[in-house]
Amino acid sequence: MRNNALLLIFLCVSTSLTAQLNDKDTVKIGSVTIKAVFEYVNAFHPIVKQAKLLPEQARFEIREARGFFDPKFAGDFSEKRYDETTYYNKLDAVLKVPAWIGDFKGGLERNRGAFVSAENSTPDAGLVFAGYSLPIGAGLFIDERRNALRQAQQLSRIAEAEQVKLINKTLLNVSNDYWEWYFSWRQLDFVSNADSLAKQRFLFVKETSRLGNSAMLDTLEAYGNMLQRNIQLEQSKLELNNARLRLSVHLWDSIARPLELSSEAIPFFINPIEYSFSISLLDSLRNFALINHPELMKIEGKLAQLTFEKRFRTEMLKPTVNLDYNFLTESTTPNISQNIFLSNNYKFGLSVGMPLFLRKERGKLQVVKTKISLQELEMIDLKRGIGVEVNTSYNTLKNLEIQLIRQNEVVVALQKLLAGEIIKFQNGESSLFIVNTRETNLINAGVKLAEFESKYAKSIAYLFWASGIKNWTY
C-alpha cells in the first residue's frame, strides 16, 4: 500500500514536470509577447522619442546654415543742419542678395548738402545702383557660408545614424530585460510546482509514518525537502517580481505616464525553429554591418564634414581678390533701354589682400588634416571591431542553439531516470532519498533549459544589434 501510494505521487510529479517542459510553445491567455513590448517602446519610450527628434534638429541646423544666403536689407540716413544751413543730407539703402558665388547688390544712394564732397555728391534725386561682387581668389570655389551649408547637410546623415544607435540600444536593453523576466517566470513555474508536490509528499509520508507504514527518516527526508523547496520558491518570487519591475521601466503610455506590467502577465517564448541562422545569413549581416552600421555612418558623416572643411582651409591659402562692379543711373530717369552696362555710368573696384606668412591658415589646415587622419584610423579599427562582433555573436548564437538542443535531451533523459527510479522504489530496490534526488535533478534541468532559452533569445537580439539593423525586432 505504501509503495503504491508513493508511486502515484511520483508519477504525478513526473507528469507535471513533463507537462511544464512541453508547454513552452503554447500561447497562454494574457501573454505578453516581445513584439508587443517593442511596439510600445517604439511608440512611447522617452529615449526613442528623443532619438526621433534628432533628424528634425538636423533639418533646423541646415535651415540655419541656409540663412547665410538670405537677402539682407540695410539702410542709413543722416542729416546735419546748423544755423539754417544743411551741412549734409545722406541716404544709403542697400539690398544684398548672396549668390552661390559672390553677391548681387543694389540700392539707392543720395547725398546732398553744402558740405558734401564732390566725390560723394549725387544728383538731387539720388543714384540707383545695381551690381555684382565676384571673388576670383580665395572664396571662388568654396567660402565660409558654402562650407557651413555643406557641413550642416551632413548632419542629417549623422543624426540618422545617432537615431538608429539610440533606438537599437534601447531595444537591446528591453530585450535583455524581457528575457530575464521570461526566465524568472519559467523558474518560478517549475519551483512553485515542485514546492506544491513537496508539501503533498510530506503530508503523505507523515500520515503513512503515523500508521507505521514508513520510517521516521522518510518523514524527515520529506520535511527537509519541503523546506528547501519553499526557500527556492520565495527566492524565485523575489527574482520574478524584480525582473517584472525592470521590464516595466521601459513601458510608457501615450501621455508619458509610466506603466507597470501586471503580476498576472505571462511572457511568451519564441520558437527557435522559426529562425534559420546559416553561414550565408552571417555573411549578409556582416556585409550589411560594414556598410550601414550607425557608428560607421557617423564617422563617414564627420569625415565628409572634415573634407569640406579641408577644401575651405585650402582655399583660404589663396590671396583675397574681389571684383566689384555697379552700374549707375539717376533714380528719376532709369532709362535701361540703352546699354548702360558699358556706358560711363558705373562704379568699379578691385580689392586684394593676403597675409605674408599664412601661419594661421596653414595651422588650421594641418589641424583639419590631423582630424581626418584620426577619423580614418578610427574607422579602420571600428570596421574590424564590428566584423569581429558580428562573428562572435553569431558563434555564441549557434553554440547556444546546440546547448538548447542538448539540454532538451538532458531533460528527456532525466524524466526517464525518474520514472525508472520510481519503479525501482516500488520494487524495494531504491529509497526516497534517491527518488527525491532524481526529482531535484529534473527540476534543476528544467530551470537550466529555461535559462538556455533566455540566453538564446538574448543572443538573437545581440546579433541584430551588433549588425546595426535599423529598428530590428523578433
* Residue 225 located in a structural domain: yes
Clarify whether residues 263 and 120 are in a common domain: no
CATH number at residue 290: 1.20.1600.10
Clarify whether residues 290 and 438 are in a common domain: yes
- The three-point CA angle 82-87-91 to 5° equals 125
Clarify whether residues 332 and 185 are in a common domain: no
Q: How, if at all, do strands 103-112 and 127-135 pair?
A: antiparallel
DSSP, residue by residue, 218-264: HHHHHHHHHHHHHHHHHHHHHHHHHHHHHHHTT-B-TTS-B----TT
pTM of the model: 0.81
Q: List C-alpha distances in Å: 12 to 7, 62, 209.
A: 9, 70, 21
* Residue 314 located in a structural domain: no
Clarify whether residues 10 and 111 are in a common domain: no
* Nearest in space to 66 (alpha carbons), one of 140, 161, 155: 155
Read off the DSSP letter of residue 319.
Answer: P
Q: Are 346 and 325 in contact (CB under 8 A)?
A: yes
Contacts of 19 (CB under 8 A, 6+ apart): none
Clarify whether residues 79 and 207 are in a common domain: no
- In Å, the largest CA–CA distance within the chain is 136
Clarify whether residues 139 and 97 are in a common domain: yes
Give, for all 474 residues of the chain, the pLDDT tens digit: 434 433 333 344 444 444 444 444 333 335 788 988 999 999 999 999 999 999 999 999 999 999 999 999 999 999 888 888 888 888 999 999 999 999 999 999 988 888 888 878 888 888 898 999 999 989 889 999 999 999 999 999 999 999 999 999 999 999 999 999 999 999 999 899 889 888 887 887 787 777 666 667 778 888 888 899 999 999 999 999 999 999 999 999 888 888 888 888 999 887 655 666 788 888 999 999 999 999 999 999 999 999 999 999 999 999 999 988 888 887 665 555 544 444 567 788 888 988 888 899 999 999 999 999 999 999 999 999 999 999 999 999 999 999 999 999 999 999 999 889 878 877 778 777 888 888 889 999 999 999 999 999 999 999 999 999 988 887
* Residue 315 located in a structural domain: no
Clarify whether residues 352 and 221 are in a common domain: no
* Residue 473 located in a structural domain: no
**Residue where one domain finishes, among candidates 301, 331, 357:** 357
Alpha carbon distance 47, 53 (integer Å): 10
* Residue 15 located in a structural domain: yes
Clarify whether residues 23 and 93 are in a common domain: no
Q: Three cell numbers at 434?
A: 534517491
Clarify whether residues 136 and 279 are in a common domain: no
Counting every residue, how long is the chain? 474
Alpha carbon distance 18, 442 (integer Å): 9
Contacts by 36-40, CB closer than 8 A, 24 or more apart: 37/174, 37/178, 37/247, 37/250, 37/251, 38/171, 38/174, 38/473, 38/474, 40/250, 40/251, 40/252, 40/259
What is the 3 state secondary structure string of 19-78? HHHHCCCCCCCCEECHHHHHHHHHHHCHHHHHHHHHHHHHHHHHHHHHHHHCCEEEEEEE
Give residue 432's pLDDT.
Answer: 75
Q: List C-alpha distances in Å: 417 to 276, 336, 422.
A: 33, 107, 9
Clarify whether residues 392 and 450 are in a common domain: yes
Give residue 234's pLDDT.
Answer: 95
Q: How, if at all, do strands 266-267 and 31-32 pair?
A: parallel
* Residue 12 located in a structural domain: yes
**Count of domains forming the chain:** 2
Q: Where in the sequence is the domain holding 415, given as residue range(s)?
A: 2-65+153-309+366-467
Q: What letter represents residue 445's amino acid?
A: A
* Residue 472 located in a structural domain: no
Q: How many CB atoms lie within 10 A of CB 256?
A: 10
To which H or E segment does residue 164 belong? helix 144-210
Give the rounded distance of the alpha carbon of 121 from its chain centre.
65
Clarify whether residues 299 and 335 are in a common domain: no
Cell 553569431: give the residue: 394
What backbone torsions phi and psi does residue 184 show, to the nearest 5 degrees? Answer: -65, -40
* Residue 317 located in a structural domain: no
* Nearest in space to 141 (alpha carbons), one of 192, 107, 101: 101
Alpha carbon distance 447, 20 (integer Å): 11
Clarify whether residues 79 and 226 are in a common domain: no
DSSP, residue by residue, 185-198: HHHHHHHHHHHHHH
